[in-house]
Amino acid sequence: MQLTRIAQTCMLTLFGALAGHAGADTLEGARTHIAEQAKALEPELLETRRDLHAHPELGNTEKRTSELVAKQLRAMGLEVKTGVARTGVVAILKGALPGPTVALRADMDALPVKEVSDLPFASKAKGTYLGKEVDVMHACGHDAHTAILLSAAKILTGMRDTLPGTVVFYFQPAEEGPSDFIPDGKNTWGAKMMIEEGVMKSPKPDAVFGLHVWAGVPAGRIAYRAGPNLASSDDLRIKILGKQTHAGRPWDGIDPITVGAQTIVGLQTVVSRRTDISSYPSVVSIGTINGGTRYNIIPESVDMSGTIRSYDYGIRQKLHADVRQTVEKIAESGGAKAEVTIIEKYDPTINDPALTEKMLPTLRWAAKDDVVQGPLVGGAEDFSFYAKEAPGLFVFLGITPKDQDMSKAAPNHNPGFFVDEAALVVGVRTLASLATDYLYGNAKP
């Protein structure tokens, strides 16, 4: 009986420390542990990152990467599930004490880019992209993301006995898109497919966190933004149907090339004259035009493709309607017909304002106060789908050497993309402390 009372007293004391904001001692102790372990694990972190960098894999083909990830997670004693969304890996860490659930996410795929560097671990890998052999490179830093999350998982696993709650680790494939099929609006991949397969249902996270390394930002600096952060990304595909004829007798046919040119010009008015950009900007761009076989033949049709970007769901849907109307009416005015297909790929990534404000002190600690508010990013991220299911926070980690001209840094997706590895330990501190600060800050007795 006496032992039981002592045990109850100890538990009440511990839970009292975890209540509210967990108590300064608990929080500071966790941060001290994270800082020490992140530094101690740095050699292992870099070894993993370099191994992944030398062996990149395209979206939906990350077999070697997922095997490496699963092996390391199992060695930590975590509950591991593989084959999620084809090649994804999910691991669950259950703390010894009751509490909320947080999810941490890293993407694993590379890009069809040929690396230009003299690094000893530079990629020489080949892969198959839409049926063609291509060079493959981690030109967006997903190798760094994977290595950072593995180190964070190892640190958090070492804190299991005092951890109030659960941490779920998402190692996701195909963030850059699938390499084995063209998106058609029906087949899913990456984050959306992970969610469809139930990763956010059991257990259901109360918050989800992620980061992305970014060129042109000093190494170790964290950039954040509350609310809309990255744009939505929708594929725009247009077919202009005319009537083939001799180019010397254009009146005998309907010229889809001329109509296509008018369409490109007309599409620019969708944003400049029909979209309210006083709150958020929008973009409609045409990236490809294909039509014709010979200089003196007006072709039967012209195909164009492009992208639509926005940061607001309402503006996004209005853009779609305006684009359709503009293309169809311009084609009609030229006697042609237009087929417009818009495929919604990624939603805008929106950081939960309350969560962002709450976790800002954590970001400042992790980056040693080198934290700035970032601009809207025109790129897209399928982290957006996780952030629709639970409050989310997605931040950027600078990886350009501090002594370099930031404006001249090779950007993400460039063959010369370079990661200053000194920044990666900041990424480890960031993900690990976002998890612990949230868990301790929301623990209840």
How many separate domains does the chain show? 2
Other Cβ atoms less than 10 A from the Cβ of 140: the count is 25
In a domain? residue 113: yes
Residue 95 sits in the same domain as residue 213: yes
User: Does the pTM exceed 0.95?
Assistant: no
Query: Same structural domain for residues 283 and 387?
Result: no
Give the DSSP H or E segment for 123: none
On whether both 324 and 367 belong to a single domain, the answer is: no
Q: Are residues 153 and 246 in the same domain?
A: no
Does residue 90 sit in the same domain as residue 198? yes
The enclosing domain of 302 has a CATH number of 3.30.70.360
* In a shared domain, residues 302 and 215: no
Residue 225 in any domain: the answer is yes
Q: Is 346 designated active site?
A: yes
In a domain, 13, yes or no: no
Residues 189 and 164 in one domain: yes
- Quick one: how far is CA 260 from the chain centroid? 33
Tell which of 346, 377, 398 closes a domain: 346
Q: In the prediction, which pLDDT does 444 show?
A: 78
pLDDT at 28: 86
* Residue 3 domain flag: no
Taking a C-beta distance cutoff of 8 angstroms, is the pair 310, 232 a contact?
yes
Letter for the amino acid at 216? G
Q: Which of 346, 368, 384 is the last residue of a domain?
A: 346
Supply the pLDDT for residue 19.
Answer: 38
List, as residue ranges, the binding site for Mn(2+). Answer: 140, 142, 176, 212, 413
Same-domain status, 209 and 303: no
Asked if the structure places residue 6 within a domain, the reply is: no
Phi and psi torsions of 427, nearest 5°: -60, -40
133 and 248 co-located in one domain: no
What is the CA 46 to chain-centroid distance, rounded?
Answer: 21
157 and 288 share a domain? no
Q: Is the peptide bond before 112 cis (omega within 30 degrees of 0)?
A: no
Q: Are residues 362 and 432 in the same domain?
A: yes
CATH code, domain carrying 63: 3.40.630.10
Tell me if 63 is assigned to some domain.
Answer: yes
> Has residue 361 been placed in a domain?
yes
Which segments are annotated as binding site? 140, 142, 176, 212, 413
d(CA 202, CA 150): 21
Residue ranges in the chain modelled with pLDDT below 50: 1-24
Give the model confidence (pLDDT) of 148-181 as tens digits: 999 999 999 999 999 999 999 999 999 999 999 9
pLDDT at site 25: 59
The reply to whether 10 falls in a domain is no
Domain span at residue 383? 27-230+348-441
- Choose, from 170, 224, 346, 438, the residue flagged as catalytic: 346
Q: Reduced to 3 states, what is the DSSP secondary structure of residue 250? A: helix
Residue 421 sits in the same domain as residue 356: yes
**401: Cα separation from own chain's centroid:** 23
Among 346, 381, 396, give the residue marking a domain's end: 346
> Is 421 designated active site?
yes
